[in-house]
Amino acid sequence: MMTVYGLTEEHNMIADTVRSFVENEIFPHEELVERTGEVPAEIAHDIKQKTLDLGFYACNFPESVGCAGLNHVEFALVERELGRGSMALNHFFGRPQNILMACEGDQKERYLMPAVRGERMDALAMTEPGAGSDVRGMKCAAVRDGGDWVVNGTKHFISGADHADFFIVFVATGEDDTPRGPKKRITTFLVDRDTPGFAVRDGYKSVSHRGYKNMILDFDDCRLPDAQVLGQVDGGFEVMNTWLYATRITVATMCVGRARRVFDYALSYAAEREQFGQPIGKFQGISFQLADMITEIDAADLLTLAAADRLDKNLSSNREIASAKLYASEMLSRVTDAAIQIHGGMGLMDDYPLERFWRDARVERIWDGTSEIQRHIISRDLLRALGA
């Protein structure tokens, strides 16, 4: 079990194993991916196969489906170490969406089991051009036609869609009148890549996480039978809340891992770079920045692991997860900015990867719930306890 003061030997072994993997199998290819914006197929296959050999593929899934069955704290440690490396490359380390545990009947053999065995890759599709934080504002909709659903609309910012064999798609399937106005009903569908009426096309060119592409999904009278519904019709929010609850912990803990890598660069540079006859780390203007950086990193690490530990104990965790995502993502921006300041002009040159980390850090405050959404969750939780 995690304690307030640290991690067990087993926890540290998990972290050390993944860190070594990232340093040996991910780091060597980062420059290529950054330069080309692509992950060569042979490199992707090699990373996936080595992850399978290591026994860590789909380690976020339970032993009942043949996986490692890591708990939330253990999986957070895996994601923390993966956060040190390129997202485009560590995507092939393979962590399918836990939501696939909601598969029933033959869905298990068509989607769940191939996903955890590394035979098929999934992608989650929720965001739309007009519906980001406001999930109920989605316009991608399905209507009944005989025994099928006919889907029309568009999803965008869909990560991993370029490599996905199937998609977990949230679609509006009706609307209820409420005292606060119309409220969309949402259903989750499993959509194969080659489904007629469904197309995947290139998305936007992002300055963050090059090679980790976002794609656009188009539905044009795409016909789906009931067998493609994941969970219950109109039960999309239930599926979402049950299985996607901890994705923000993933963002938070990956931010911690990336921040530790950035800090290592800054610390080494401060110890080696000399000005006025001494290492710049001896000047308070630098040393105090280092002190602030490591304090914030450690605080984010503990905050994130504490939130994961609450999930493992089946305790209410919504506010704690939001706090972890908020603090860790904003911490990463501060740490990367400080690291560049310590390096001076060289920090912005591509001789160092700092300018890449700086660009990559910016998106962490946006995806999986913006900082503003996290603050809303936190404040709402605090005020509700007082009846406000």
In a domain, 335, yes or no: yes
Q: Count how many domains the chain has.
A: 3
The last residue of a domain, from among 203, 233, 263:
233
Same domain, 368 and 253: yes
pLDDT attached to residue 302: 95
Q: Does residue 73 form part of some domain?
A: yes
Check whether residue 93 and residue 162 sit in a common domain: no
Residues 82 and 148 in one domain: no
Give yes or no: residues 283 and 181 share one domain.
no
338 and 255 in one domain? Answer: yes
Q: Assess if residue 66 is contained within a domain.
A: yes
pTM of the model: 0.93
**What are the pLDDT tens digits along the chain (388 aa)?**
444 457 899 999 999 999 999 999 999 999 999 999 999 999 999 999 999 999 999 999 999 999 999 999 999 999 999 999 999 999 999 999 999 999 999 999 999 999 999 999 999 999 999 877 677 788 999 999 988 999 999 999 999 999 999 999 999 998 888 777 778 899 999 999 999 999 999 999 999 999 999 999 999 999 999 999 999 998 888 887 777 767 899 999 999 999 999 999 999 999 999 889 999 999 999 999 999 999 999 999 999 999 999 999 999 899 999 999 999 999 999 999 999 999 999 999 988 899 999 999 999 999 988 999 999 999 999 999 898 8
The range of the structural domain enclosing residue 276 comes to: 247-385
Domain annotation covers residue 72: yes
Q: Kind and range of the H or E element at 230? A: strand 229-230
Please spell the DSSP secondary structure of 148-192, one letter per residue.
EEEEEEEEEEEETTTT-SEEEEEEEEEEEEETTEEEEEEEEEEEE
Confidence (pLDDT) at 179: 79
Tell me whether residue 177 is in a domain: yes
Q: Is 105 a member of any domain?
A: no
CATH number at residue 213: 2.40.110.10
177: which strand partners? 182
Whether residue 252 sits in one domain with residue 372: yes
Query: Are residues 57 and 118 in contact, defined by beta-carbon separation less than 8 angstroms?
Result: yes
Which two tokens mark 136? 């109920």
Q: Is residue 108 part of a domain?
A: no
**Where does a domain end: 97, 131, 147?**
97
Residue 51 lies in a domain: yes
Structure tokens at 41: 């197929």
Looking at the structure, do residues 337 and 275 belong to the same domain, yes or no? yes
CATH number at residue 327: 1.20.140.10
Question: Are 162 and 264 found together in one domain?
Answer: no
**pLDDT value of position 279:** 92
Residues 252 and 374 placed together within one structural domain of the fold: yes
Q: Do 265 and 357 belong together in one domain?
A: yes
- The encoded tokens of residue 334 equal 């501060």
pLDDT at 96: 95
Q: Same domain for 226 and 254?
A: no
SS3 track for 87-138: HHHHHHHCCCCHHHHHCCCCHHHHHHHHHHCCCCCEEEECCECCECCCHHHC
Judge whether 297 and 331 are in contact, CB under 8 Å: yes
Element (H, E) at 215: strand 214-225
Let me know whether 24 and 78 are in one domain.
yes
